[in-house]
Amino acid sequence: MLVTVDDMLKKAHKEGYAVGHFNINNLEWTKAVLLTAQENNSPVILGVSEGAGKYMGGFKTVVGMVNGMLEELNITVPVALHLDHGSYEGAQKAMDAGFSSVMFDGSHYDIDENIEKTKEIIRIAHSKGISVEAEVGSIGGEEDGVIGSGEVADPNECKTIADLGVSILAAGIGNIHGKYPENWKGLDFDVLKQIDDITNDVPLVLHGGTGIPEDMVKKAISLGVAKINVNTECQWAFAAATRKYIEEGKDLEGKGFDPRKLLAPGTEAVKEIVKEKMELFGSINKA
């Protein structure tokens, strides 16, 4: 049974670790993340962007697949199905489809419009028992057409959004999606601490988890980050393992062309990344 992020992230925030949000893009990725979470007794958040949801046949298809796996694979650890960087309309569609948690990304609106739209999403979500993530200060880079310049959030605006009743808050602190450039200045921990100090213990979210040095990740967790998003690193690992399989000609051996065999190395590579991140975030045996 899917759960909201509320209990798992309040516990993580209180005990000083983070829960991984791993984006899923197909059946193999979903299965890889769920099995790794179960094997390591870790809570987990399955992230779905609007683009990935469309690719997989729609939000209802995703919900059916995930619920089916929870039952058939005997998954007993807490699992949330979360819309990643949702639009105002997308968040409502995900809630209608059965997602247990949604992110409404209103960071590209001015703060007043962000507040009004976030309030309405929270109203709808709470009436359905669904958790909400909001964002202040856009995250740099691009993810499924959502482009952010990497702003550093205003702590006072963060408090305003947090006070609306969100379950978790994503605040830009210099983090970006995708590969970090060589001249990246790093995370702004001074701003992160200010945000954590004034948002009344609302768990914070770190987007763009791929490529952030481990020491920075651990420091961010110590300053209130309880959810960390990982996507690009899993994509790289999946692609590299699949490329190696084909370059070695294994798809030409016997029935090596069978999709179940062709995609297996990439799936195992995703499992390895997920486990590494769970170890780094400190969520193993926290289910």
Active site residues: 84
Query: What whole-number distance in Å separates Cα of residue 181 and Cα of residue 149?
Result: 13
